Amino acid sequence: MYSFLLKLSVITGLFITVCAKSIREVGLHEEFLDERYYNTTEIANLLYKIEKQNPMIARVHEIGESSLGQSILAIEITSNIGQSRRILKPMFKYIANMHGDETVGLQLLLYLAQYLTSLYGSDDRVSRIVDTTDIFLMPTLNPDGYSASQEGDCNSQKGYAGRNNAKGVDLNRNFPQIDKKSFNMQQPETRAVIEWILNNPFVLSANFHGGAVVASYPFDKYYRNISQGGKTPDDALFRYLSIKYASKNPKMANGSACQEEHFKNGITNGAEWYELEGGMQDFNYIYSNCFEITIELTCCKFPSPSVLTKEWEYNRESLLTYMESVHMGIKGLVQDENNNPIPGATIHIVGINHTVKTTNRGEYWRLLLPGIYTISANAPGYNASVYRNILVKNDTLRSTTVNFTLHTLKQSSELIDVDTSNVVIDLSHWNVNVDFGMAKSNGTVAVIHKATQGIRNIDSCYRTRRIAAEKEGLLWGAYHFGTNTNGVIQANHFLNQVGNTSATLLVLNVEPYKNNIMTQKQVEDFIKTVQNITNNFVMIYASYNTLKNYSTPFLLKTPLWIALYNTQLKLPPGWDKWVLWQYTDGKKGLWPHGVNGVGLCDRDKFNGSIDKLRAFW
Ligand SMILES: *[C@@H]1O[C@H](CO)[C@@H](O)[C@H](O)[C@H]1NC(C)=O
Ligand SMILES: *[C@@H]1O[C@H](CO)[C@@H](O)[C@H](O)[C@H]1NC(C)=O
Ligand SMILES: *[C@@H]1O[C@H](CO)[C@@H](O)[C@H](O)[C@H]1NC(C)=O
Ligand SMILES: *[C@@H]1O[C@H](CO)[C@@H](O)[C@H](O)[C@H]1NC(C)=O
Ligand SMILES: *[C@@H]1O[C@H](CO)[C@@H](O)[C@H](O)[C@H]1NC(C)=O
Ligand SMILES: *[C@@H]1O[C@H](CO)[C@@H](O)[C@H](O)[C@H]1NC(C)=O
Ligand SMILES: *[C@@H]1O[C@H](CO)[C@@H](O)[C@H](O)[C@H]1NC(C)=O
Ligand SMILES: *[C@@H]1O[C@H](CO)[C@@H](O)[C@H](O)[C@H]1NC(C)=O
Ligand SMILES: *[C@@H]1O[C@H](CO)[C@@H](O)[C@H](O)[C@H]1NC(C)=O
Ligand SMILES: *[C@@H]1O[C@H](CO)[C@@H](O)[C@H](O)[C@H]1NC(C)=O
Ligand SMILES: *[C@@H]1O[C@H](CO)[C@@H](O)[C@H](O)[C@H]1NC(C)=O
Ligand SMILES: *[C@@H]1O[C@H](CO)[C@@H](O)[C@H](O)[C@H]1NC(C)=O
């Protein structure tokens, strides 16, 4: 009897498993719906478990740390996760719990992560979403606040403990804004998410809160000079996106879920509801290409966990529909006539005063309502390109593709008379047996030497050669070989090695190293930091092709030292001035390929006479 029962239960167990799977496949029953809140340890464990179980479509990212050192995690869900993002696949994000005591969104994102990963491959809609979208879910941006919050607290505690981070700061008042441009005052949580937003081309986003039931859209403030009545130039689109979310959630669509307030269609403009400054959704719109709205989920901020299943039911369709909206409008590539991507090109829609910019790979995404548009792409150094009568269909599953080819404007190309009268050479420890006396008598006027690389490395010859060169009365310069790490730290490392900078030309060398290269931001951070500390200008050194990726307004104004081993000098789009031209690396390019006392080496031409060179230095 005993063994028979056991057998039966095994068989029944099997049967139930099979059965449950087929029910789950049609999305009616979700095994992951345990009605309780996960603490921050459990959240991390769950996210890593999802990653482990779905290595092809899920990956956990730590985007920063909270004030108390807890990890701020996001899980990425998309097909082909191990590879770099497929070109033109849009990035989407959901962020919850930036107010640590507003907790329902946190659990919903944990459910959503499990829903997407468990149904991928069996449910057509989920598979399509995961295949076409690079999704990021961040259950909590404020783990410290969450840990300090109390289950059952419908309103914030005294002093906003739990709502705020551990330093007592409300993170949704902590973002830089249009008339408060400081990027230095932020909390660690805010800084982490700002870097994340600025360094990734997110297209669409929502941010979950509690204490009301409504979808609220930018602006959150009446910026008197750029908006009328708190409206963004994309007001109609934001209203549409908000209604998309609200209309699928019966409680939100009703508009009167919480007693004291009524929201028509379950949506509101942020500023119209109540004004706030330093919010995340305004930051997204003002400083990035991303469109974000704020979703308030429950009247009670930290309700009993018994509401969680119901809240998942109310929000599941909204969550999916809103993610699908990332495909509204147009997307495409902006390239030059040789099919090279143009980073930082601006996409302008006639009639909407809000532009988006292309990524390093030349991609852009522009969310738009169905309609007919005139669209232009612009980049410094290129002829603008305009398309008229672009039809955007009412199809949120597929964007309209509009690619642009921009033609390079006439270059300032000039034949340079390469004389040896103003010899500038640049060296590093790779050049051995250096005799500056001989180099000087062969016409050398100035030497630029490698000082440092990355955040640790120093050039072993820098100091001794500096002394030797100064003894010969040669002008001296120092360059830093930048790597793909923090620009401020690199700047300080460089200055430590260079020491007294007053008679030294300072250069940042931007070139690939181990398949990596500094980002635009790292380059700017480096230069600005050195300038700030030394009060001297910094020159940027890079090849013609590399420079094309760094045509930011700031860098276009930076003194240029260009490497181009060509018979003619040609400047990349955007740059109209050069100071130094490295015309040979000792092997390629114009002659001569070296100098007495050094042998084959990098030689550089200064734009001007020796007197001008001395004056410039
Ligand atoms: C989180 O929950 C787990 C499991 O319930 C428990 O063992 C752990 O102590 C909790 N951690 C914290 C920091 O509360
Ligand atoms: C808006 O006005 C503020 C203060 O009047 C000013 O600081 C800011 O630069 C203005 N912004 C724009 C975009 O004009
Ligand atoms: C919203 O819900 C309340 C209470 O359930 C109901 O009385 C009211 O008619 C609903 N309003 C709308 C606009 O559906
Ligand atoms: C477009 O917006 C910018 C600020 O973002 C503002 O300075 C400019 O005046 C606006 N242009 C028009 C035509 O409204
Ligand atoms: C797109 O079509 C859907 C369904 O036909 C409709 O509900 C929606 O309002 C349309 N959207 C726009 C912006 O016209
Ligand atoms: C735009 O470029 C992408 C990427 O090269 C390509 O897949 C797509 O077919 C192009 N679309 C059009 C309309 O030319
Ligand atoms: C740039 O556009 C202008 C005006 O449309 C045109 O005359 C010129 O030939 C274009 N230049 C290039 C390089 O395409
Ligand atoms: C410098 O050296 C080159 C050979 O490398 C020689 O042709 C040239 O005449 C020398 N110039 C001077 C000024 O010594
Ligand atoms: C730095 O160098 C300049 C020029 O060589 C010199 O005049 C100055 O005294 C030096 N400053 C220090 C602090 O050594
Ligand atoms: C440079 O210094 C100014 C004034 O001291 C400061 O406002 C700015 O933030 C500094 N910039 C950098 C990149 O350190
Ligand atoms: C410019 O950026 C693109 C995209 O990141 C990269 O593929 C390309 O290699 C870069 N070009 C140079 C010369 O660094
Ligand atoms: C060369 O230098 C002169 C100043 O000496 C400047 O006017 C000119 O614009 C520079 N040429 C280029 C192409 O940078």
Is the Cβ atom of 225 under 6 angstroms away from ligand 2?
Answer: yes
Cα 133 from Cα 136, distance rounded (Å): 9
Q: Is the pLDDT of residue 411 over 90?
A: no
**pLDDT given for residue 413 in this prediction:** 45
Taking residues 531-551, report their average pLDDT: 94
Ligand 11 atom nearest to 545, measured from its CA:
13
Residue with tokens 């230069």: 527
Q: What is the pLDDT of residues 127-181, one digit of tens each?
A: 999 999 999 999 999 999 999 999 999 998 888 999 999 999 999 999 987 665 5
Cβ pair 91, 202 in contact under 8 A:
yes
Last residue within a domain, chosen from 301, 322, 343? 322
Residues marked as catalytic: 296
Q: What percent of the chain has pLDDT over 70?
A: 92
Residues 355 and 261 both lie in one domain: no
Residues 172 and 113 both lie in one domain: yes
CA of 226 to the centre of ligand 4 (A): 6
Confidence of residue 334 (pLDDT cuts 50, 70, 90): very high
> Which three-class secondary structure string do you get for 463-521?
HHHHHHHHHCCCEEEEEEECCCCCHHHHHHHHHHHHCCCCCEEEEEECCCECCECCCHH
Ligand 10 atom nearest to 184, measured from its CA:
9
Q: Is residue 12 part of a domain?
A: no
Residues 214 and 339 both lie in one domain: no
Cβ pair 267, 295 in contact under 8 A:
no
Residue among 115, 79, 122, 65 at smallest CA distance from 94? 115
Residues 287 and 312 both lie in one domain: yes
The closest residue, in CA terms, to atom 13 on ligand 7 is 409
**pLDDT given for residue 52 in this prediction:** 98
Is the Cβ atom of 364 under 6 angstroms away from ligand 12?
Answer: no
Q: Which of 13-17, 77-81, 370-374, 602-606 has the lowest mean pLDDT?
A: 13-17
Provide the residue range defining the domain that includes 342.
330-405
The closest residue, in CA terms, to atom 2 on ligand 5 is 394
Q: Is the pLDDT of residue 283 over 90?
A: yes
Contacts of 601 (CB under 8 A, 6+ apart): 425, 426, 427, 431, 586, 593, 594, 595
Of 394, 395, 396, 398, which is best to mutate to test ligand 5, by the most ligand atoms within 8 angstroms of its C-beta?
A: 394
Residue among 77, 32, 566, 44 at smallest CA distance from 320? 77
Q: Is the pLDDT of residue 22 over 60?
A: no
**pLDDT given for residue 219 in this prediction:** 95
Angle at 98 between CA 92 and CA 101, to 5 degrees: 135
Residues 274 and 336 both lie in one domain: no
Q: Is residue 31 part of a domain?
A: no
Residues 317 and 340 both lie in one domain: no
Is the Cβ atom of 529 under 6 angstroms away from ligand 10?
Answer: yes
Cα 208 from Cα 93, distance rounded (Å): 11
Q: Is residue 19 part of a domain?
A: no
Pairing verdict, β 330-336 and 291-296: unpaired
Cis peptide before 436 (omega within 30 of 0): no
**Packed helices 235-247 and 308-324: angle between N→C axes, nearest 10 degrees:** 140
Average pLDDT, the chain: 90
Q: Is residue 468 part of a domain?
A: yes
Q: Is residue 10 part of a domain?
A: no
Taking residues 246-261, report their average pLDDT: 94
Confidence of residue 29 (pLDDT cuts 50, 70, 90): low
Residues 310 and 340 both lie in one domain: no
Please report, for the domain that includes residue 562, its CATH number. Answer: 3.20.20.80
Residue among 593, 11, 86 at smallest CA distance from 331? 86
Cα 33 from Cα 362, distance rounded (Å): 41
Is the Cβ atom of 359 under 6 angstroms away from ligand 11?
Answer: no
Residue with tokens 């398949």: 515
Residue with tokens 């400083």: 287
Cα 508 from Cα 538, distance rounded (Å): 7
Task: Classify residue 231 as left (phi > 0), alpha (psi -120 to 50) or beta.
Answer: beta
CA of 448 to the centre of ligand 9 (A): 18
Please report, for the domain that includes residue 339, its CATH number. Answer: 2.60.40.1120
Is the Cβ atom of 542 under 6 angstroms away from ligand 11?
Answer: no
Cα 479 from Cα 324, distance rounded (Å): 48
Q: Is residue 97 part of a domain?
A: yes
Q: Nearest ligand, CA of residue 504?
A: 9
Cβ pair 371, 442 in contact under 8 A:
no
Please report the beta strands in 367-469, taking only residues with DSSP state E, as ranges in sequence order. Answer: 371-378, 385-392, 400-401, 404-406, 423-427, 444-453, 457-458
Residues 603 and 462 both lie in one domain: yes
Residues 348 and 251 both lie in one domain: no
Residue among 310, 327, 334 at smallest CA distance from 241? 327
**Packed helices 40-53 and 104-119: angle between N→C axes, nearest 10 degrees:** 10
Based on the structure, what is the number of domains in the chain? 3
Kindly state the DSSP code that residue 158 receives in the 8-state scheme.
G
CA of 546 to the centre of ligand 7 (A): 25
Q: What is the pLDDT of residues 76-134, one digit of tens each?
A: 999 999 889 999 999 999 999 999 999 999 999 999 999 999 999 999 999 999 999 99
Q: Is residue 24 part of a domain?
A: no
Last residue within a domain, chosen from 265, 294, 322? 322
Please report, for the domain that includes residue 170, its CATH number. Answer: 3.40.630.10
Residues 397 and 513 both lie in one domain: no
Confidence of residue 46 (pLDDT cuts 50, 70, 90): very high
Cα 216 from Cα 266, distance rounded (Å): 9
Residues 347 and 307 both lie in one domain: no
Q: What is the pLDDT of residues 339-349, one digit of tens each?
A: 999 999 999 99
Of 177, 178, 353, which is best to mutate to test ligand 2, by the most ligand atoms within 8 angstroms of its C-beta?
A: 178
Ligand 4 atom nearest to 226, measured from its CA:
4
The closest residue, in CA terms, to atom 3 on ligand 10 is 532
SS3 content of the chain, % helix, strand, coil (to 5): 35, 25, 40
Residue among 78, 100, 83 at smallest CA distance from 326? 78
CA of 270 to the centre of ligand 10 (A): 32
Q: Is the pLDDT of residue 412 over 50?
A: no
Q: Is residue 237 part of a domain?
A: yes
Q: In residues, how long is the chain?
A: 617
CA of 377 to the centre of ligand 7 (A): 14
Residue with tokens 């959503």: 112
Taking residues 221-235, report their average pLDDT: 84
Last residue within a domain, chosen from 405, 434, 451? 405
Residues 208 and 246 both lie in one domain: yes
Phi and psi angles of residue 204, each rounded to the nearest 5 degrees, phi first? -145, 150
Of 223, 225, 226, which is best to mutate to test ligand 4, by the most ligand atoms within 8 angstroms of its C-beta?
A: 226
Provide the 10 A C-beta neighbour count for residue 164: 25
